[in-house]
Structure 1
Amino acid sequence: MSSEIQFFFEVLLSGLLTGILYSLVAIGFVLIYKASEVFNFAQGAMVLFAAMTLAGIHGNGVNLVLSGIITLLVMVLLAFSVERFILRRIVNQSPLSMFMATIGLSYFLLGLSQLVWGADVRALDIGIPDDQFIVGEIMIDQFDLTVAAVCLILVLSLVYFFQRTRVGLALRAVADDHQAAISVGVSLHKVWVIVWSIAGFVALVTGIVWGARLGVQPALNLIALKALPVIILGGLSSIPGAIVGGLIIGAGEKLFEIYLGSIFGGATESWVPYVIAIGFLLVRPSGLFGNNQLGRI
């Protein structure tokens, strides 16, 4: 294998593995939307809140596993609170009202995180070595590969949950028609608590991964912005679409930066994903795995 081809595949693989990290954030958006048709603007803040809670508890001498369990319980408590004090009160309001409520929740979580744990950057060591090894002349990062395996397990579990379990079917029924789901005995309040709890778990996993890579800091909230092009590509209601969209964005931004970035002055990774997303919107507005819906303009 020539050095140019080897370098290309190393860049491509690095982009794909980075795209999986973007997919973890996008999955949180998809989960909430699938069950309530609410675009949860607070997903990035939930990632930050989970990561800072875990790092804060672990930093006080608590075992990492126990810290994760406690943080998960905190995220479940957050789900109960969101359902009780927000969703229950605006259930029949417009999607815009619910979206604005998640914006308020986002700023509340950002403030609460820094109030309780401070704004200092915290290192998070989860025991995964950041070594590199060579497979077929291609260098692979062990941390990224481990994260990819975790993401695959998480996605398969979520797909099975939504497609094969009674609770998953209830979540989908609520998303399709709230009133019809209630009429056949589905508890809207319980469904929302469950889905926000699952989204909280995904936020915790995402926070652990990104916190271990970049350090736990308030800037983690901004990674939610990278999920927007991902869900545009994959479709806002598709978990597999979040993965495929993440892979496309990750590989696309990395290859563009390496081979064309110098032409545009560098730092293209901050805007190329949005250009790719706009291109997909022009061709397929519903995303690769989204449902085409006709509406009046």
Structure 2
Amino acid sequence: MGFFIEALIGGLMTGMLYSLVALGFVLIFKASGVFNFAQGAMVLFAALAMARFSEWFPHWGGFDSKLLANVLAFIAAMALMVVVAWLIERLALSKLVNQEGITLLMATLGITYFLDGFGQTLFGSDIYKIDVGLPKDPIFLLESVFEGGVLVNKEDLYAAAIAAALVIGLSMFFQYTSTGRALRAVADDHQAAQSIGIPLNRIWVIVWSVAGFVALVAGIIWGSKLGVQFSLSLVALKALPVVILGGLTSVPGAIIGGLIIGVGEKLAEIYIGSKIGGGIEIWFGYVLVLFVLLVRPQGLFGEKIIDRV
């Protein structure tokens, strides 16, 4: 039983990180109505910026100076992501207002390749480390309940807590702020939102900036775990089934979908993969989503679209 709890906790923490990446997809889709294929590239670009800025800022020795360098690097990386968001809106999205969804989709594909190439040109293509002080030592929990306790990685625990706090904050932002309501209005109908005075350009800059912030946090966490390298952009592929499972327009859906897939793939790998040779974690989420879509095409929490003729 202790081993099952250990696997369950590991799956929940991994699922929360999937949810964090999936939030970037949901934010852009809610504001523009298009699936943002550039989210993975944004995670890589933000992580590269954080890693390189933390190297370039001076360290004067001791914990305080390292903390200061990381704080300055985070602020600089966030400022860079806001500039990227402004340029995306100014040079691409503002020219494509009220265009077909496929046009915006192709625009995000172009942004993906640009950010991948420009990020490596600007910051280099080596493997970089991000050290923000997250403890990496494992700890044992529930030793009085299970023999030997439950082994949990401290870094995963802290990362999951940070991701959960950010998810809760963004959910409240969408529900209880005027900007969040404006974002939902823009997602429903661009032209109607403009007709009642909602500045579409400003809303898109805000939502891409928020998505950039989410990408930066996700990039720091994944970069701390895996190192900052080109393959980091592929983390977004793990979040695709999360978004589809939860529903493209649902922030809570991204959370629940991430937890379901994180736990499901971990348990499937342990209890089924050991019998058939492993590798289930790679495709489990996609197969699960396929079966869910056969029953509920809009996802678990997505809005059902009804066309009246």
TM-score range, shorter chain: over 0.9
Shift of 1:156: 1.6
Unaligned regions of 5+ residues in structure 1, if any? none
Cα RMSD of the aligned pairs, angstroms, is 1.2
Instruction: Identify the residue that residue 182 of structure 1 maps to in structure 2.
Output: 194
Structure-1 separation of matches of 2:125 and 2:21: 21
Instruction: Identify the residue that residue 22 of structure 1 maps to in structure 2.
Output: 18
- 1:106 is aligned, of 112, 115, 132, to 112
What amino acid sits opposite 2:14 in the alignment? Answer: T
3-state SS in 1 of match to 2:179 = helix
TM-score (norm 1): 0.96
Instruction: Identify the residue that residue 33 of structure 1 maps to in structure 2.
Output: 29
Shift of 1:295: 4.5
- 1:147 is aligned, of 142, 149, 159, to 159
What amino acid sits opposite 1:267 in the alignment? Answer: G
What amino acid sits opposite 1:9 in the alignment? Answer: I
3-state SS in 2 of match to 1:271 = helix
- 1:45 is aligned, of 33, 41, 44, to 41
Structure-2 separation of matches of 1:34 and 1:140: 35
Instruction: Identify the residue that residue 146 of structure 2 maps to in structure 1.
Output: none
- 2:228 is aligned, of 197, 210, 216, to 216
TM-score (norm 2): 0.92
Structure-1 separation of matches of 2:125 and 2:233: 12
Q: Deviations over 1:49-83 (max 9, x none)?
A: 00001111112234111010001000000111010
Structure-1 separation of matches of 2:98 and 2:39: 22
Matches within 5 A, 1:109-148: 109-136=115-142, 137-148=149-160
Q: Deviations over 1:85-117 (max 9, x none)?
A: 100111121000100110010000000111112
Identity of aligned residues (%): 55
Structure-2 separation of matches of 1:125 and 1:92: 43
Instruction: Identify the residue that residue 70 of structure 2 maps to in structure 1.
Output: 64
Shift of 1:38: 1.4
Instruction: Identify the residue that residue 242 of structure 1 maps to in structure 2.
Output: 254
Structure-2 separation of matches of 1:161 and 1:256: 35
Instruction: Identify the residue that residue 260 of structure 1 maps to in structure 2.
Output: 272
What amino acid sits opposite 1:289 in the alignment? Answer: F
Runs in 1 of length 4+ with deviation above 6 angstroms? none
Instruction: Identify the residue that residue 66 of structure 2 maps to in structure 1.
Output: none
Structure-2 separation of matches of 1:281 and 1:224: 20
Structure-1 separation of matches of 2:281 and 2:171: 30
Structure-1 separation of matches of 2:22 and 2:307: 26
Structure-2 separation of matches of 1:186 and 1:256: 47
